[in-house]
């Protein structure tokens, strides 16, 4: 694979109480090991953020090792257990994007385990040496190398089901009736709903403040926008108490916003709408094919759709087949697939803007001290941005797919979101947007959390 | 740009032998922001520190990097020197090129390259360091001592005599620990109880000591100077203040169970004192053995107690105390002898452990000091002592030497011979380790004066044949197989870590080593402290120890605590989290991940008092500086002082040169075709 | 120099094939998933003519989303500057729609004015734009509303207009166009010069959006402060899609991206729609809300730029309309604002 | 650039093409002096590393530059030094964001970047022969400093000069040493003021916001030009006060401090109505500002 003189560049992020002390003990005990690892000392593995690992790879690391105290031994009670969940998710994300698992490794090494430390370093170094230098440039050229890869033949498989739009007119009337009532009684100062857009077959977010205006509210299979994004927008909230038209997926976003203290329940009136599914390119949208919230999980008023046909979902989510196909590829092929996708990114941040859960006024991508996400819109910066976006959504994304819908470059953000949602469902039994009283999965842990990837 | 000084230490040959310190210095001198670089034989020496101090003053350095040993060795030293030079202590960092470089690599080129990287990384960190001011916290001048064996007793008495309040917590009904079980002690053969019990009594009477027996530490929060401890007092069903220790209750008690204190060699009642000199001198009702508690059917003791000291409705009680320091003296356990299956403990009543043998020797023991076999009470004439049971045995037991077994086995054999002068004592040993004042002489006395037969070798099997124990072994000096018919076999089982260490260690945020013993802060220089500030170790909780060592360490721990208590305020490391209120979005994920409850919502209001936003706020008194909140914050509105994003970013970008960006397009030099005439 | 030639349909492919073999890099519309984008051509077969317009305007080939304008290395306490490596090669971009080509003419004015930005102008002079008139505008198109036409020639060096079976009418508009035509003259038939008016009219007739926006917006204080801005901008989410798909938007940011050894100073696209665009380090922001930012976008295109340069900064390609996540529609907004302005004139 | 560039290229060797002029390439400057004006305002004196450039460098008071720390980025400040000070520029900056923090960390001898001069500068011709009334608040004084130095260096060309310098508190007053030097010049009146609450026990200056002190000083509009710079809210009220005192808008001058990146009217950041502050400003008369949309 590579010549004998090649020395991989490996950085180890370690906690100061266990692994750092263990490495010191290896020194005191004069146990020899491979000299390729550079240690960055941190107070706790809980302080080791995914951004560090990302930056290390960006800077040219061939491998990254993270090491902390054994479960239960954390000097700070539970930092390593929180870290374990973060790293589980982050690692799977990077693997999904095509990183070889050997390049990002984790271990528990206690202050007493000098020998283990040396063994871990030697083993990790040997594995990375066997892999050879990382594909150039954390992006950039990789996509050019494999232009004929299998990955490129992977094409979006839209839902094959036809729409069964339900009784749209009746639902529309129901929305208008409730909206009118809310405005008349003063229960709401503004209704956030859908109106007809300026182009054929397009709806647009509509803000109605007068009872007469409710006639402009519409309901059809093109009401794709997740309107809950407006609940954290001052130009809308200053109009008064908000009444919001919410499909099931939109209501899940409301649950998540409640969970993260971004809205107050008693300051929002939710007009829940039973939804039969929305259309993309005339077919049922992929996410709607496996929808289990035709009736919103949270509402104050419910507009029922009497003709609601929730259909036979046996077909499953077409995206799951795509994810499986991607996962069947080699890391190099997967990497090439995503590089090609991210290369198209123009950093317009539409994905961020439409996301109800991207409510930070100053995004980490806009923070410059330090500049974790490279500012240039090149392969390196785009990759980091997309990874950071995906990771910040992990365990929080409610799967409305708005980011993927609005992406002008058609980057398959939905696949990444879905992949992480499945991972978190399987690993932690958690799905976002159903229960505001449960702690989000990356803010908590269980002692028995999966750890099979940790040395 | 910063003006950093880099100081590369040779540490004699320790570093310079493997790392080209000259090269490291030369490269360091050329790094951006480095205004001074030099190397010296011993940076930690006085002249070494002077170099640093002078350089700070002369070159107006804005930060220093000392490339030397581990920061756990000398970080404080160089911070102190930085202060002397006029710098804030937190503008000094160490690059660990000894423990993590020169000592672990042979290849000089690779080690030098690594040392250069480590220096560079620290230079970039220091460039981003900000001066920090220590946080002062008041010190609660009360200590908690966990464990009432000789270590805990000694530590508690030393502290109490020094004028400090002490809370001594013991899990068992009485203090005294394993030492109370011993008959005589080596190498002086004075009676263990005779020297121990006066101290136990002193503890019970000392005005500065609050003794909580039959109690366990339930929860520990806080930090050095300010620990909050919850102690669970198990119900003993006997009101300590009322009990007169008359024993009327035990007489009427119908329930009989094996006596743990006697190693199960005798019996006790459900209501009992573990031994006559127990402190406190009160009875305890063993709720598991008692018939009456659930449901109440017996009550005989209750009726018999004239002092009305028995309360069958007693409930566990949680006592909350605040202490400034904690000494852990939870002692040891013995290697479970049944695991050495071939030696027959548990199958043959006349195979006993060393501690059981102590009870057989003890005047207060089950045989009142008469040497008898547990099986039938006959006087054993042939006794085989087997050393290293479980110890120095990575396969079946523990790899380490249990340290005290050689000595107590010699003591056992000697005491046996004193009681049964015509008996024969054999000792199977691997090596005799008798390092200590008077120890070697003691063993020699056993061999020569008391004619104990020492056999170098291991015992392969103990079995019964014709009603007698047979011991098979090999004398490795002669190579001869041996078979000894024995009346009694005594196993010198290893000292192992207390099985409850693990749970307690987690509570204490202390680190247990691979064998379960607590890890000291430094094996040589800080053997009494742990890495958790305010937490100290005494006795066998740290490693196998004999009594003198235990007592010495207990006094040392007490001394450390007294030093801590000599100040009214404590300076804490300012490594704490800070919230950027401007960009905090108030999702409170940080609050969810904080293990110390240090983060609470804070309301931001305008001048009219209208609520604008809720943001996170860190209580720096509670914050321990773990940084979990920083990672939980998606837009990084929390920083951890001392480990800020800027600093770590600096370290990471210092590690590798930035990869060249993909060239936009490579110009292909095509053939020029002049077309313009 | 309105010499005109014809290009027979069957000659087009031959010409492109020879261009591909030349020292000029040939860039032409190609399929990428469901989109058509400009890409360097590998084989002529990859080129498609089946598109209303390309996904992205052609501007990125001159004004890339991100480009280094300076490199530097630290040397002790000093710094060594390096010129970024901007490799140049002659290029032909084939198939640029008139609206996008007009966008280039607008960018020329900005980048070629005093303080000439050679990162842009060098690429521009090395590139020959072969425009391709538009015959079937999309529902979102409104080039005629802003004073252009589906066959407008501004910004192109050569303009091809499909004339049915006769092939393409070739207009030579600049010296660069002339040079190209001179080099490959044998593909082009001279003489048979026909008017493209009929094609233009037919295409315009297919245009559903035909408002009179070309006169621009006349700014008054009343209009500037009018509540209409808050109303139309309320749904704006503040992303950068509209600016980044726009053929004329050219706002940029200059940022450093560095490590311990040195770094790159980069020029990156930016958008007046982002809240950070005008926010000072102190936190003060002259355009604190989305309405003022959206107002800036509309007025820059329809009022400020025309005042300075005498032409609108909108070419009516409609990309911002179709790509907006929430259906912000600059055509509709301009109409609405003009209506407000009209009310003022009447009163 | 010549339209014939392509033709040149096609006909000759690319090596002989003219070298690219890079408008974003800064001059390298050596930090010669660092002066702390207030706890968060610092003045740097920078010398051109290329002496020839330094010799030929000239600017009009009121023009500005893009100062950069390599690794942190660029930031806009007025050139605060005297135009007569050849080979050097000075800038004063307040600690705010990434670049100013990086500038705070530079040491004497370090290298920083400078591009400029940009912008129009003060209309010196229309100031000659006039009384000058300067009103600067906080760091806004930096934009006036070059002009003050110029006027004092050409003292006979101008009439009476009033220097009103305001700040939040006594500690926040900038150019304390310069003020002493300036006040010593003939026919110069120096008035210093701090916001209410910002005074110290021994403060002998005025107490009050800058507009209030302008009102109190009541400069005569006839024959006087008022030049003001400071935080946006101060400028707003200072302009109103001057108007009330009878100053015609053409005789009130201020400089704007928008966020700027390129300095050359391209990046679009400082666009206000039809003007680019970086090219058409930063110096405007109140009359010119009046014509602009309120977007700055």
Q: Is D268 on the interface with C (CB under 8 A)?
A: yes
C179:D6 CB<8 A: yes
pLDDT in tens, D29-68: 999 999 999 999 999 999 999 999 999 999 999 999 999 9
The residue among B566, B536, B568 whose CA lies nearest residue B554 is: B536
CA distance B671 to chain C (A): 7
Sheet holding B34-40, edge to edge: B34-40, B4-9, B63-68, B92-96
Q: Which chain A residues are Cβ-neighbours of B509 within 8 angstroms?
A: 74-77
Predicted model pTM: 0.80
C70:D25 CB<8 A: yes
What number of other Cβ atoms are within 10 A of residue B390's Cβ? 23
For chain D, what is the radius of gyration of the CA atoms? 20
Pairing of strands D131-137, D161-167: parallel
Q: Which chain C residues are Cβ-neighbours of D28 within 8 angstroms?
A: 78-79, 81
The segments of chain A whose pLDDT lies below 50 read: 1-2, 139-153
Q: Which chain B residues are Cβ-neighbours of C261 within 8 angstroms?
A: 32, 657-658
Write out residues 246-275 of A within 8 Å (CB-CB) of B: 260-262
The CATH number linked to D197 is 3.40.50.80
C33:A406 CB<8 A: no
A410:C264 CB<8 A: no
Q: CA–CA separation, C65 vs C270, rounded Å?
A: 9
Q: Which chain A residues are Cβ-neighbours of B588 within 8 angstroms?
A: 260-261
What number of other Cβ atoms are within 10 A of residue C188's Cβ? 19
Candidates C76, C87, C261; nearest CB to B663 = C87
The residue among B499, B537, B502 whose CA lies nearest residue B519 is: B537
D8 found inside a domain? yes
B674:D106 CB<8 A: no
pLDDT in tens, C308-335: 999 999 999 999 999 999 999 999 999 9
Tokens of B642: 């001392």
The residue of chain B with its CA nearest to that of A21 is: B72
What number of other Cβ atoms are within 10 A of residue C193's Cβ? 14
Q: Is B672 on the interface with D (CB under 8 A)?
A: yes
What number of other Cβ atoms are within 10 A of residue B106's Cβ? 10
pLDDT in tens, B106-117: 999 999 999 999
Find tokens 């090609």 and name the residue. A340
The residue of chain B with its CA nearest to that of D108 is: B1
D102 found inside a domain? yes
C66:A402 CB<8 A: no
Q: Taking a C-beta distance cutoff of 8 angstroms, is the pair A367, A220 a contact?
A: no
CA distances from B603 to A9, A436, B617 (A): 47, 22, 9
Handedness of CA A216, A220, A224, A229 (dihedral sign): positive
D195 found inside a domain? yes
Q: What are phi and psi of B251, to 5 degrees?
A: -60, -40
CA distance A73 to chain B (A): 6
The residue among A194, A167, A191 whose CA lies nearest residue A179 is: A191
Q: Same structural domain for residues D22 and D108? A: yes
Write out residues 227-246 of C within 8 Å (CB-CB) of A: 230, 233-235, 237-241, 243-245
**Partners of residue B471 on adjacent β-strands:** B462, B484
| B511 pLDDT more than 90 | no
Q: Same structural domain for residues D20 and D83? A: yes
Q: What are phi and psi of A185, to 5 degrees?
A: -80, -10
A368:D101 CB<8 A: no
C290:A235 CB<8 A: yes
Higher pLDDT, A146 or B651: B651
The segments of chain C whose pLDDT lies below 50 read: 1, 344-347
Q: Same structural domain for residues D128 and D239? A: yes
Q: Same structural domain for residues D109 and D14? A: yes
CA distance B51 to chain D (A): 23
Percent of chain B at pLDDT above 90?
Answer: 77
For chain A, what is the radius of gyration of the CA atoms? 25
Q: Which chain C residues are Cβ-neighbours of B60 within 8 angstroms?
A: none
Q: What are phi and psi of A3, to 5 degrees?
A: -75, 160
Candidates D12, D14, D105; nearest CB to B2 = D105
Find tokens 């790094």 and name the residue. B31
Report the helix count and the strand count for chain C, using DSSP H and E: 12, 12
The residue of chain C with its CA nearest to that of A232 is: C237
Total CB pairs under 8 A between chain A and C:
116
Tokens of B407: 């000595």
Q: Same structural domain for residues D129 and D114? A: no
D268 found inside a domain? no
pLDDT in tens, A81-122: 999 999 999 999 999 999 999 999 999 999 989 999 999 999
Q: Same structural domain for residues D77 and D163? A: no
pLDDT of residue A287: 83
Q: Taking a C-beta distance cutoff of 8 angstroms, is the pair B573, B533 a contact?
A: no
pLDDT of residue D281: 85
**Partners of residue C74 on adjacent β-strands:** C79
The rounded mean pLDDT for chain D is 91
Indicate the helix (H) or strand (E) that contains B226.
strand B226-233
Higher pLDDT, B624 or D169: D169
Counted domains in chain D: 2
Strand ranges in chain D using DSSP code E only, listed in sequence order? 27-38, 41-48, 64-69, 73-78, 88-94, 111-118, 131-137, 161-167, 188-194, 206-207, 224-229, 252-255, 271-272, 275-276, 283-285
C237:A353 CB<8 A: yes
The CATH number linked to D70 is 2.40.30.10
Q: Same structural domain for residues D105 and D19? A: yes
ipTM for this model: 0.91
Q: Same structural domain for residues D192 and D99? A: no
Find tokens 């806080």 and name the residue. B222
pLDDT of residue A317: 77
C87:B672 CB<8 A: no
CA distances from B573 to A45, B134, B561, B632, B642 (A): 19, 5, 19, 23, 9
Q: Which chain D residues are Cβ-neighbours of B673 within 8 angstroms?
A: 10
pLDDT of residue C192: 59
Q: Where are the alpha helices (DSSP H) in C22-166?
A: 98-111, 118-125
B2:D14 CB<8 A: no
Q: Is A367 on the interface with C (CB under 8 A)?
A: no
C259:B657 CB<8 A: yes
* Across B634-646, average pLDDT: 94
| D223 pLDDT more than 70 | yes
What number of other Cβ atoms are within 10 A of residue D49's Cβ? 14
pLDDT of residue B288: 87
Write out residues 319-348 of A within 8 Å (CB-CB) of C: 346-348
Q: CA–CA separation, D227 vs D147, rounded Å?
A: 10
Q: Which domains does chain A have, with CATH numbers?
A: 10-131 (3.40.50), 150-155+315-443 (no CATH), 168-303 (no CATH)
CA distance B223 to chain D (A): 35
Tokens of B264: 């199960």
D288 found inside a domain? no
Q: Which chain C residues are Cβ-neighbours of B62 within 8 angstroms?
A: none
Candidates B62, B669, B674; nearest CB to D11 = B674
Q: Same structural domain for residues D244 and D209? A: yes
pLDDT of residue A311: 63
Q: Which chain C residues are Cβ-neighbours of B666 within 8 angstroms?
A: 87
Domain that holds residue D81: 3-118
Write out residues 51-80 of D within 8 Å (CB-CB) of C: 68, 70-75
Find tokens 């979990």 and name the residue. B628
A111:B513 CB<8 A: yes
Q: Is A299 on the interface with B (CB under 8 A)?
A: no
A60:B100 CB<8 A: no
pLDDT of residue A152: 46
pLDDT range class, residue B664, cuts 50, 70, 90: very low
The region of weakest confidence among B16-20, B478-482, C69-73, D15-19 is D15-19
Whether a cis peptide bond, with omega within 30° of 0, leads into D117 is yes
Strand ranges in chain C using DSSP code E only, listed in sequence order? 4-7, 25-32, 35-40, 66-75, 78-82, 91-96, 127-132, 158-162, 168-172, 188-190, 252-258, 262-269
Q: Is B207 on the interface with D (CB under 8 A)?
A: no
The region of weakest confidence among A360-364, B9-13, B412-416, D254-258 is D254-258
Candidates A156, A198, A353; nearest CB to C325 = A353
Write out residues 97-156 of D within 8 Å (CB-CB) of A: 97-98, 101
C118:D295 CB<8 A: no
Tokens of B313: 């409705």
Q: Which chain C residues are Cβ-neighbours of D261 within 8 angstroms?
A: 252-254
Among D67, D102, D118, give the residue marking a domain's end: D118
Q: Taking a C-beta distance cutoff of 8 angstroms, is the pair C168, C130 a contact?
A: no
Eight-state DSSP code of residue A110: -
The residue of chain C with its CA nearest to that of A373 is: C257
Q: Taking a C-beta distance cutoff of 8 angstroms, is the pair B537, B151 a contact?
A: no
Candidates C90, C119, C280; nearest CB to D259 = C280
Candidates B656, B664, B671; nearest CB to C87 = B664
Decide: residue B376, CB within 10 A, 0-12 exposed, 13-18 middle, 19+ buried. Answer: exposed
Higher pLDDT, B657 or B412: B412
The rounded mean pLDDT for chain A is 89
D74 found inside a domain? yes
Q: Which chain A residues are Cβ-neighbours of C295 within 8 angstroms?
A: none
Q: Which domains does chain B have, with CATH numbers?
A: 4-134 (3.40.50), 142-329+526-565 (3.50.50.60), 333-496 (3.50.50.60), 577-640 (3.30.70.3270)
C69:D22 CB<8 A: yes
Write out residues 19-58 of C within 8 Å (CB-CB) of A: 33-35, 55-56
Q: Which chain A residues are Cβ-neighbours of B642 within 8 angstroms?
A: 43
Residues contacting A328, CB < 8 A, separation 6+: none
Sheet holding C91-96, edge to edge: C35-40, C25-32, C91-96, C127-132, C158-162, C168-172, C4-7, C188-190
D213 found inside a domain? yes
D262 found inside a domain? no
3-state SS of D171-230?
HHCCCHHHHHHHHCCCCEEEEEEECCCCCCCCCCCEECCHHHHHHHHCCCCCCEEEEEEC
């Amino acid at each position: 694979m590579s010549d004998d003189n090649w020395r991989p560049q490996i950085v180890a992020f370690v906690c100061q109480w266990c692994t750092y002390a263990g490495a010191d003990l290896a020194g005191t005990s004069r146990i020899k090991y491979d000299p390729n690892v550079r240690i960055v000392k941190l107070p706790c593995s809980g302080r080791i953020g995914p951004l560090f690992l990302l930056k290390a790879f960006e800077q040219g690391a061939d491998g990254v090792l993270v090491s902390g105290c054994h479960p239960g031994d954390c000097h700070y009670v539970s930092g390593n257990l929180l870290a374990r969940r973060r790293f589980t998710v982050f690692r799977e994300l990077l693997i999904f994007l095509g990183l070889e698992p050997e390049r990002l490794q984790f271990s528990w090494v206690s202050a007493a385990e000098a020998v283990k430390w040396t063994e871990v370093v030697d083993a990790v170094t040997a594995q990375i040496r066997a892999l050879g230098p990382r594909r150039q440039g954390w992006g950039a050229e990789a996509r050019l190398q494999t232009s004929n890869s299998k990955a490129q033949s992977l094409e979006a498989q839209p839902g094959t089901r036809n729409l069964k739009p339900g009784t749209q007119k009746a639902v529309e009337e129901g929305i208008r009736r409730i909206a009118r009532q809310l405005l008349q009684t003063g229960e709401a100062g503004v209704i956030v709903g859908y109106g007809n857009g300026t182009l054929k077959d397009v709806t647009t977010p509509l803000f109605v403040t007068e009872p007469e205006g409710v006639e402009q509210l519409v309901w059809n299979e093109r009401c794709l926008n997740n309107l809950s994004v407006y609940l954290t927008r001052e130009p809308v909230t200053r109009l008064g108490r908000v009444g919001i038209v919410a499909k099931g997926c939109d209501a899940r976003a409301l649950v998540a916003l409640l969970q993260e203290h971004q809205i107050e329940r008693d300051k929002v009136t939710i007009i829940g709408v039973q939804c039969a599914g929305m259309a993309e390119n005339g077919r049922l949208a992929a996410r709607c094919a496996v929808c289990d919230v035709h009736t919103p999980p949270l509402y104050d008023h419910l507009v029922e759709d009497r003709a609601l046909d929730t259909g036979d979902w046996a077909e499953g989510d077409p995206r799951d087949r795509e994810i499986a196909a991607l996962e069947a590829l080699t890391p190099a092929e997967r990497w090439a697939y995503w590089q090609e996708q991210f290369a198209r990114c123009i950093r317009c941040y539409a994905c961020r803007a439409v996301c109800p859960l991207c409510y930070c006024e100053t995004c980490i991508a806009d923070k410059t001290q330090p500049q974790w996400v490279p500012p240039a819109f090149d392969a390196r910066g785009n990759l980091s941005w997309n990874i950071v976006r995906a990771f910040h959504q992990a365990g929080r994304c409610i799967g409305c797919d708005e980011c993927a819908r609005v992406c002008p470059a058609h980057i398959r953000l939905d696949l990444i979101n879905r992949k992480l949602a499945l991972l978190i469902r399987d690993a932690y039994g958690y799905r976002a947007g159903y229960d505001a009283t449960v702690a989000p999965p990356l803010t908590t842990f269980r002692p028995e959390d999966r750890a099979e990837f940790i040395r | 740009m910063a003006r950093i000084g880099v100081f590369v230490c040779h540490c004699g040959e320790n570093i310079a032998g493997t790392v080209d310190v000259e090269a490291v210095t030369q490269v360091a001198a050329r790094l951006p922001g480095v205004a001074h670089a030099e190397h010296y034989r011993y940076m930690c020496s006085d002249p070494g520190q002077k170099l640093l101090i002078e350089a700070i003053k002369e070159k107006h350095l804005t930060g220093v990097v000392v490339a030397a040993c581990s920061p756990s060795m000398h970080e404080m030293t160089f911070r102190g020197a930085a202060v002397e030079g006029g710098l804030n202590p937190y503008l000094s960092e160490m690059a660990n090129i000894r423990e993590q470089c020169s000592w672990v690599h042979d290849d000089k080129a690779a080690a030098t390259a690594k040392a250069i990287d480590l220096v560079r990384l620290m230079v970039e960190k220091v460039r981003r360091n900000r001066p920090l001011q220590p946080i002062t916290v008041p010190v609660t001048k009360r200590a908690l001592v966990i464990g009432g064996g000789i270590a805990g007793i000694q530590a508690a008495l030393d502290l109490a005599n020094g004028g400090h309040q002490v809370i001594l917590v013991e899990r068992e009904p009485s203090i005294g620990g394993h030492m109370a079980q011993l008959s005589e002690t080596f190498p002086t053969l004075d009676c263990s109880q005779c020297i121990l019990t006066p101290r136990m009594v002193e503890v019970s009477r000392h005005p500065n000591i609050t003794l909580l027996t039959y109690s366990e530490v339930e929860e520990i929060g806080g930090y050095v100077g300010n620990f909050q401890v919850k102690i669970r007092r198990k119900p003993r069903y006997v009101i300590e203040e009322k009990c007169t220790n008359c024993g009327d209750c035990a007489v009427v008690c119908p329930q009989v169970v094996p006596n743990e204190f006697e190693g199960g060699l005798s019996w006790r009642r459900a209501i009992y004192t573990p031994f006559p000199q127990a402190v406190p001198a009160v009875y305890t009702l063993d709720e598991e053995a008692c018939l009456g508690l659930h449901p109440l059917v017996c009550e005989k003791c209750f009726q018999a107690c004239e002092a009305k000291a028995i309360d069958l409705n007693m409930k566990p009680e949680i006592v909350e105390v605040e202490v400034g320091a904690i000494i852990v003296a939870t002692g040891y356990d013995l290697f479970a002898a049944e695991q050495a299956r071939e030696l027959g403990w548990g199958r043959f009543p006349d195979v006993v452990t060393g501690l059981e043998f102590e009870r057989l020797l003890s005047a207060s023991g089950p045989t009142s000091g008469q040497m008898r076999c547990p099986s039938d009470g006959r006087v054993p004439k042939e006794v085989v002592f087997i050393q290293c049971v479980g110890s120095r045995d990575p396969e079946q037991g523990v790899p380490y030497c249990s340290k005290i077994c050689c000595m107590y086995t010699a003591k056992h054999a000697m005491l046996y011979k004193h009681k049964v002068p015509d008996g024969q004592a054999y000792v199977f040993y691997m090596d005799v380790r008798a390092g200590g004042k008077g120890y070697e002489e003691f063993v020699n006395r056993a061999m020569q004066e008391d004619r104990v037969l020492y056999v170098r070798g291991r015992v392969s099997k103990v079995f019964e044949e014709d009603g007698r124990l047979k011991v098979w072994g090999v004398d490795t000096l002669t190579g001869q197989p041996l078979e000894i018919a024995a009346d009694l076999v005594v196993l010198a089982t290893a000292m192992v870590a207390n099985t409850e260490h693990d749970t307690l260690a987690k509570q204490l945020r202390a680190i247990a080593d691979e064998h379960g013993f607590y890890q000291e802060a430094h094996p040589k220089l800080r053997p009494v402290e742990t890495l958790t500030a305010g937490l100290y170790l005494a006795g066998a909780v740290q490693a196998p120890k004999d009594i003198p060592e235990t007592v010495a360490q207990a006094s040392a721990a007490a001394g450390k605590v007294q030093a801590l208590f000599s100040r009214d305020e404590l300076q804490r490391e300012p490594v704490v989290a800070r919230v950027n209120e401007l960009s905090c979005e108030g999702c409170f994920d940080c609050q969810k991940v904080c293990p110390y409850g240090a983060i609470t919502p804070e309301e931001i209001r305008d001048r009219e008092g209208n609520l604008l936003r809720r943001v996170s706020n860190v209580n720096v008194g509670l914050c321990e500086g773990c940084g979990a909140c920083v990672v939980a914050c998606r837009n990084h509105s929390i920083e951890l002082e001392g480990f800020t994003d800027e600093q770590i970013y600096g370290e990471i970008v210092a590690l590798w040169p930035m990869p060249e960006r993909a060239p936009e397009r490579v110009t292909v030099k095509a053939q020029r075709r002049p077309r313009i005439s | 120099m309105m010499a005109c030639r014809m290009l027979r349909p069957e000659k087009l492919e031959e010409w492109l094939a020879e261009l591909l073999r030349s020292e000029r890099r040939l860039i032409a519309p190609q399929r990428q998933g469901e989109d058509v984008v400009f890409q360097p051509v590998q084989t002529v077969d990859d080129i498609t003519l089946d598109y209303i317009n390309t996904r992205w305007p052609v501007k990125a080939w001159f004004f890339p989303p991100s480009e280094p304008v300076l490199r530097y290395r630290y040397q002790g306490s000093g710094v060594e500057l390096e010129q970024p490596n901007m490799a140049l090669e002659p290029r032909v971009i084939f198939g640029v729609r008139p609206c996008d080509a007009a966008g280039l003419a607008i960018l020329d004015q900005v980048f070629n004015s005093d303080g000439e930005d050679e990162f842009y102008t060098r690429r521009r002079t090395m590139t020959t734009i072969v425009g391709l008139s538009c015959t079937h505008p999309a529902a979102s198109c409104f080039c005629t509303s802003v004073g252009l036409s589906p066959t407008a020639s501004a910004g192109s060096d050569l303009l091809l207009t499909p004339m049915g079976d006769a092939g393409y009418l070739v207009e030579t508009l600049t010296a660069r166009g002339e040079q190209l035509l001179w080099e490959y003259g044998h593909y082009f038939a001279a003489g048979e010069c026909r008017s493209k008016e009929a094609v233009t009219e037919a295409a315009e007739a297919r245009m559903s959006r035909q408002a009179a926006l070309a006169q621009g917006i006349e700014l008054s204080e009343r209009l500037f402060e009018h509540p209409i801005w808050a109303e139309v901008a309320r749904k704006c989410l503040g992303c950068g899609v509209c600016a980044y798909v726009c053929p004329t938007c050219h706002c940029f940011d200059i940022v450093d991206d560095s490590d311990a050894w040195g770094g790159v100073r980069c020029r990156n696209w930016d958008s007046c729609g982002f809240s950070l665009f005008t926010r000072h380090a102190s936190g003060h922001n002259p355009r604190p809300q989305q309405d003022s930012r959206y107002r800036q976008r509309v007025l820059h295109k329809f009022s400020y730029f025309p005042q300075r340069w005498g032409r609108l900064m909108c070419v009516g390609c409609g990309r911002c309309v179709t790509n907006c996540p929430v259906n912000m529609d600059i055509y509709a907004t301009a109409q609405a604002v003009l209506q407000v302005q009209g009310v003022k004139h009447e009163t | 650039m010549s339209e014939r560039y392509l033709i040149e290229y096609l006909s000759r060797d690319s090596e002989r093409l003219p070298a690219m002029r890079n408008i974003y390439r800064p001059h390298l400057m050596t930090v010669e002096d660092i002066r702390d004006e207030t706890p968060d305002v610092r003045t740097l004196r920078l010398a051109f590393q290329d002496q020839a450039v330094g010799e030929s460098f000239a600017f009009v008071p009121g023009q500005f530059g893009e100062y950069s720390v390599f690794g942190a980025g660029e930031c806009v400040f007025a050139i605060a030094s005297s135009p007569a000070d050849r080979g050097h520029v000075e800038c004063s900056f307040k600690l705010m964001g990434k670049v100013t923090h990086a500038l705070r960390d530079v040491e004497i001898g370090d290298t920083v970047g400078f591009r400029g001069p940009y912008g129009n500068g003060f209309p010196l011709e229309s100031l000659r022969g006039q009384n000058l009334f300067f009103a600067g608040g906080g760091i806004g004084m930096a934009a006036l400093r070059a002009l003050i130095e110029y006027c004092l260096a050409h003292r006979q060309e101008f009439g009476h000069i009033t220097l009103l310098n305001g700040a939040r508190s006594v500690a926040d007053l900038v150019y304390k040493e310069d003020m002493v030097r300036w006040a010593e010049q003939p026919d110069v009146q120096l008035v210093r003021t701090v916001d209410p609450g910002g005074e110290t026990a021994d403060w002998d200056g005025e107490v009050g916001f800058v507009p209030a002190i302008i009102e109190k000083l009541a400069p005569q509009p006839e024959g006087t030009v008022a030049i003001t710079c400071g935080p946006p809210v101060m400028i707003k009220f200072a302009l109103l006060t001057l108007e009330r005192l009878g100053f015609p808008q053409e005789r009130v001058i201020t400089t704007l401090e928008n966020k700027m990146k390129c300095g050359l009217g391209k990046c679009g950041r400082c666009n206000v109505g039809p003007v680019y502050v970086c090219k058409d400003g930063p110096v405007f008369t109140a009359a010119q500002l009046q014509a602009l949309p309120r977007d700055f």
